[in-house]
Structure 1
Amino acid sequence: MKPMGTITKYYPFIDEETKTILGSLMDESNSYYDFVQRMSIKVLKEEVPVNLAYLAAGHVWWCRIEETKNLIQEKYKNVPCIRPWVFPHNSIERDQVMYHDAVVEAIDKVLDSSAEDWMETELHLLHTFYHWPLGDVPSLLEPVEKAKVLIEANPLLNCFEPLICAFKGLAKRREGYTKDALIVYQRGQELAEVHDDSLYMYMNLLEQADTLVALNIQESLARFEELYDLALDLEVPYFTGEVLHDSGVAFETAGEYDLAISSHHEKMKAYGMEDIPDAFPSRIYSSLGDGQKALEVINRYFEYAEPVETLVFHLWKAWALALVDRLEEAERTLDTAHSLIIKSGSERTLGNYFHFSGVVELRRGDFLAALDLFEKAWDIAERIPAGTNQNRALFDLARVEILLSNHSKDSTKVVVPGKWLCKLENFAVEHDLPGIRMQAALLKSEFYQSQGQLRDALGTLQEALEISDSLGVKTLRKRISDRIRELNQLLREAEVSTEKRKR
């Protein structure tokens, strides 16, 4: 492969022997991943400069090559600068929260040994990887600010600026400033291009695509296509899986649930983990209203996984339990989740807690309590959008609105959809979410049918079939077609009944 800035950015700071070895390895390699593997073999089999061992440990961490990472750690266990790169980072919430303190302790030991400024800068940014789910935004950015001070003192360190942009964008997004976050990510992408750093380019593009999910789904999917090509070019299986995972979330946001589930299956193949349960399809099945399937999926995950405090999975389990009317279990699971929410300080997750608590009240029949909780969830989702959280909140607000309307029928009232159902429809159209539009049509047809307006219910669904024939909405199209057949049957029966009365 050609020399890449991802590696040559270290040249101003490292010894000549390490530079020579890196140059030879890049000449011999076919891709970034191939290079990292070759570098690791050399570091494990030969006595090499500490700088090379450090770079191998860091890039193996980026590639998530767990076995090789552990072998490097074992060989260099007495070298302080290697230790910070040992900790897992495969789950934003689980691994970062679990290993944060150990990472900081390992980094502090390196800093106490008078590390060079380039290494210190990179380790502060490693700290940020494990820090950003914890506490408020100022504390989140504390290690980033330390890195910036070092960069200001030594302009050669500006090669790390693209990664700083990625974290600053994350902070903006966490505060709810999604458009500002996109500007920062774009700056990071431009700087990564200047430095020819594909790794930092990947990081900023990924965050950009994830942020766009809640703003412009089609643009987000276009970014994911670009990312997928970059991941294939780098040949890092973890990156390919990560892109498939996040694009699965984008498809889920669009209501293209079949493609979302397919993306998660392909993700597990990319990770080489086809036989390991994946929790994410549980959320998709719950979004489709299939609580039994959702519960089966999340239970398989909990049976396999270590008993770790993974907040979102507890929330998804509570949602699935509520949908199958195991309400006491759902409430106990929500109690577990709530204690973890307090620890995480995540307002967006608090919104999900409100939402799934609302589902419990909805299933219990306390529609006013459910409405209050769904409105709280929507308030947070509107301020801190993640795509799926907005869809969920609007769906259940519309659903409980219909149920309340059914319980207070007024024969003098004109039957029209309520404000939340209208808001759901408009939201799906404005954000170009084809599957969500089709789901909204199913809900609207239920509303019309509950009011005895079968022809309006039928017309709504017939129009919905014209929205999309994508593979992603295969399940929804079948549901709509089945409902159309049911409504046609009801209309025929009504006509026969009318004819009999006329006789």
Structure 2
Amino acid sequence: MEPVGTITMYFPFMDSETRDIIQTVMDEADHYHDFVHELNRRVCEEETTELAVFFATHHAVVLSDFNLLDRLARKYGKLAIIRPNLLIASALKGRDEDFQKARDAADYVISKNPPLWLHLEMLVNKLEAELFGYPVLFHVDSRDEIEEILERNPDLEFYKSRLYHFLSVRANKDGDMDTALEYLEQAIASSEEHNDLNRYARVVRTKAVFIQGRDIKQSVLLLERAGRALESLGDSDGFSDVLFQQGKIMAVRGEYNQAITHI
């Protein structure tokens, strides 16, 4: 597969053994989806590093692949650096709706003084948990600390795509569509700058969904862009979601036969 920033932007923060594992899997994979599944298999079946397990979990989250996350949880459920992601996934599946547990798990990792990038990763996990629990669960300090770290450390600016994507969803929940779209534009710019094709596709898809009531034509164009990106990554589930969104628009237009083929 061609290198994508979703994977390679973390290379500077990996130890040599972990990087060799990730690089080998990436070199042998056909596309991103293949990479994620093979990395998951290797960390579950072969001797590996804790950081490789973290990245296997991280990339399974990018794909929203709960089967992979369940497999990782069965083997590595007590590994502190992946527990925030596992707890968020569990809550999203309806097993445990207490997103505070994910925040607490991230705080535990932060309390151990991890490297700055991992500290930031935990803060982003906290913000994600706060978003899903919003407005019942929301702490502005997570966002503030994230922005402070990004301002001081330009080598971590690739996190902006996730930050702004989350903030756009929160603004949309608040009914502030203009602010939501401003955040999405910043998220798109960041993902493009860092060749983070996976998050680019997901942010573009979010924007397409947000503007369906305002500009159906533009929404269709954005869904096509997101679909092309997801298809190139081998992300069949993400691509299927794009087809579903396109089908909904066709149904609104009265194009029922086309809508049925998409949905």
- Measured against the shorter chain, the TM-score band is 0.7 to 0.9
Alpha-carbon distance in structure 1 between the residues aligned to 2:42 and 2:189: 33
Distance change in 2, residues 1:91/1:80 (3 Å): closer
Alpha-carbon distance in structure 1 between the residues aligned to 2:100 and 2:138: 14
Tell me the residue number matched to 1:22.
22
| CA displacement 1:424-480 (0-9 Å, x = unmatched) | xxxxxxxxxxxxxxxxxxxxxxxxxxxxxxxxxxxxxxxxxxxxxxxxxxxxxxxxx
The answer to which of 81-90 and 44-53 deviates more is 81-90
5+ unaligned residues in a row in structure 1: which ranges? Answer: 265-503
Q: CA deviation at 1:162?
A: 1.1
| CA displacement 1:222-255 (0-9 Å, x = unmatched) | 1111111111111123312332343344445545
Alpha-carbon distance in structure 2 between the residues aligned to 1:3 and 1:139: 36
| CA displacement 1:115-173 (0-9 Å, x = unmatched) | 22212222322333333243449936543333222222322111111111212222333
Q: Is the aligned partner of 1:171 residue 2:170?
A: yes
Alpha-carbon distance in structure 2 between the residues aligned to 1:203 and 1:150: 24
Question: Match of 2:114, SS?
Answer: coil
Q: Which structure 2 residues correspond to residues 223-242 of structure 1 after superposition, within 5 A?
A: 223-242=222-241
Amino acid at match of 2:227: Y
Distance change in 2, residues 1:20/1:192 (3 Å): same
Alpha-carbon distance in structure 2 between the residues aligned to 1:91 and 1:78: 17
Q: Which structure 2 residues correspond to residues 337-348 of structure 1 after superposition, within 5 A?
A: none
Q: CA deviation at 1:76?
A: 2.0
Q: Is the aligned partner of 1:69 residue 2:69?
A: yes
Tell me the residue number matched to 1:202.
201
Amino acid at match of 1:189: I
Tell me the residue number matched to 2:124.
125
Q: Is the aligned partner of 1:108 residue 2:110?
A: no
5+ unaligned residues in a row in structure 2: which ranges? Answer: none
Tell me the residue number matched to 1:429.
none
- Of structures 1 and 2, the larger Rg is shown by 1
Q: Which structure 2 residues correspond to residues 282-431 of structure 1 after superposition, within 5 A?
A: none
Distance change in 2, residues 1:172/1:216 (3 Å): same
Alpha-carbon distance in structure 2 between the residues aligned to 1:14 and 1:68: 22
Distance change in 2, residues 1:105/1:190 (3 Å): same
Q: CA deviation at 1:103?
A: 1.8
Q: Could you say what the CA RMSD is over the residues aligned between the two structures, in angstroms?
A: 2.8
Distance change in 2, residues 1:143/1:228 (3 Å): same
Distance change in 2, residues 1:88/1:163 (3 Å): closer
Q: Is the aligned partner of 1:46 residue 2:46?
A: yes
Distance change in 2, residues 1:100/1:237 (3 Å): farther
Alpha-carbon distance in structure 1 between the residues aligned to 2:38 and 2:2: 15
Q: CA deviation at 1:21?
A: 2.0
Conserved? CA contact 2:198–2:229, under 8 Å? no
Q: Is the aligned partner of 1:83 residue 2:83?
A: yes
Question: Match of 1:12, SS?
Answer: helix
Alpha-carbon distance in structure 1 between the residues aligned to 2:89 and 2:213: 25
Distance change in 2, residues 1:256/1:87 (3 Å): farther
Distance change in 2, residues 1:252/1:121 (3 Å): farther
Alpha-carbon distance in structure 2 between the residues aligned to 1:249 and 1:49: 44
Number of equivalenced pairs? 263
TM-score after normalising by structure 1? 0.48
Amino acid at match of 2:32: Y
| CA displacement 1:70-106 (0-9 Å, x = unmatched) | 22223223321122222464997x7598241232232
Tell me the residue number matched to 1:59.
59
RCO higher in structure (CA 8 A, sep ≥6): 2
Alpha-carbon distance in structure 2 between the residues aligned to 1:239 and 1:136: 27
Tell me the residue number matched to 1:488.
none
Q: CA deviation at 1:25?
A: 1.5
Alpha-carbon distance in structure 1 between the residues aligned to 2:236 and 2:138: 32
